[in-house]
Chains A and B, each alone.
Chain A
Amino acid sequence: MSPDQELAEHFRGGDEHALRIAYDRFGGAVLHLAQRVLGNRSDAEDVTQATFVAAWQGRQTFDPDRGSLLSWLLGIARRKAVDRIRTAVRENRITETIRALPEPAAPAETPERIVDRLVVADELAQLPAEQRRTLELAFYDDLTHPQISAVTGLPLGTVKSHIRRGMASLRRRWEVDGAAPGPRPAGRSRTL
């Protein structure tokens, strides 16, 4: 069982340590999502707080078979943030909240998309160090296999296999935990 699965188990079981640890571990991601959706720091902090309170109170409804604790928390936060916008609109308090929103959200920047990115980032952070490093060089620095091999001193074949396995892990996590509809197969992904 991975540390995060164990954390989720204890959270669900009502172990109060788990609430604080989950908050330490995932509070930043929840706040980021709320902030991106609401465009307003103080509302985002409210939503973060409400998310953890709701999660704790509803912990028994968390189903580890349907996704990770992170994605469950992000799902709660997303709904709360979206509800808050809807309420604001309905109550005609449009001015402040809407004005505070970032420029008309680019179509790609749906809350679901933000969730997907957070989930992939979380998985990336948990990959074995060498795998993570090679992927970061490919993602952030646009390096090719041979360039990554030169930078890291790893043999080309190792770089390729790190990238292939790392991509497979990210993809699995995204398929299980992602929120956005996307080009994903109905069944399990082919093992890479």
Chain B
Amino acid sequence: MPHLDPDRLVDLALFDSAAEPEESAHLDVCAGCRTEIGSLQHVATLGKETEELRDLPAPPESVWAGIAAATAEPVASVRPLPAARTDDGRRRRRRTPKWVPPFLLATAAALVAIAGTVTVVQLVDRPPAAEVTARATLSPLRGAPPAARGDAEVVDDDELRVDVSDLPLTNGYYEVWLIDPDDTSRMQSLGGLPADAEAVLPIPPGTDLRTYRLVDVSAEPHDGNSAHSGDSLLRGTLTS
């Protein structure tokens, strides 16, 4: 009888099929096929034992901190210096090495985000210096304290940076809107805003800032109604 067919070898090794009499007879005399089955059986046994090894937990971040300290080569563990400026005033970008495959990058970036205290290799591109493309000074409307004010800046046409102060206390929250002053029923919500802090809110792609040029900060109750409450506190018009 010829050597056993590869599929049959796997059958015998992995699925515990019983060998046919003529297969047994062949195996008795063929060391090659016996070795094949032996190897495959061993690999199958190992394979069956791998179930507990899926998603092995990562070591705690303290282990990495120790490695980084002990290897102490500048880049792996040292807090990055402020990026140098190039002649054109833009921040020099630190590029991820081309060879780093995306699936590894994703893991590394996620770990960096979790790590927090340990500044690790900067694997992710730093965006170039932001460019302010329009701005607005926000003034209080009737009903808001006279001291309330704010500033808004459009950054790179896709984010609105909003900084407010002295807004009245509210049981609800503040919300930022872009409104078409020519038809104030037309508006876009950009999201919520902390009372005394700067927020950077993404501007939905395709928003025409020449139309939606009125920045509005409203007080919103927690009533589950996503529409504008009508209670505007601050407003200002974007100018380039």
The 0/1 profile, CB within 8 Å of B marked 1, for residues 50-64 of chain A is 001100110000000
Which of B6, B41, B43, B67: most chain A Cβ within 10 A? B43
Q: How far is the CA of A95 from the CA of B7 in the complex (A)?
A: 51
Q: Are A15 and B104 in contact (CB under 8 A)?
A: no
Residues of B within 8 A of A48 (CB): 59, 63
Residues of B within 8 A of A25 (CB): 104, 107
Interface residue B125 (Cβ < 8 Å from any Cβ of A): no
The 0/1 profile, CB within 8 Å of B marked 1, for residues 157-187 of chain A is 0001001100100110011000000111100
**Min distance, Cβ A138 to any Cβ of chain B, angstroms:** 6
Residues of B within 8 A of A184 (CB): 35, 39, 42
Residues of chain A at interface, number, CB under 8 A: 54
Which of B15, B35, B67, B101: most chain A Cβ within 10 A? B67
A45 with B63, Cβ < 8 A, contacts A16-B73, A139-B51, A174-B46 known: yes
Q: Are B35 and A185 in contact (CB under 8 A)?
A: yes
Q: Are A7 and B67 in contact (CB under 8 A)?
A: no
Q: Are B10 and A164 in contact (CB under 8 A)?
A: yes
Q: How far is the CA of A4 from the CA of B2 in the complex (A)?
A: 39
Interface residue A17 (Cβ < 8 Å from any Cβ of B): yes
Taking CB atoms and an 8 Å cut-off, the chain A residues in 57-108 that contact chain B are 57
A54 closest partner in B (C-beta): B70
B47 closest partner in A (C-beta): A139
Q: Are B73 and A167 in contact (CB under 8 A)?
A: no
The 0/1 profile, CB within 8 Å of B marked 1, for residues 5-40 of chain A is 011001000011101110111011111100000000
4 smallest A-B Cβ distances: which pairs? Answer: A28-B56, A183-B38, A121-B50, A121-B53
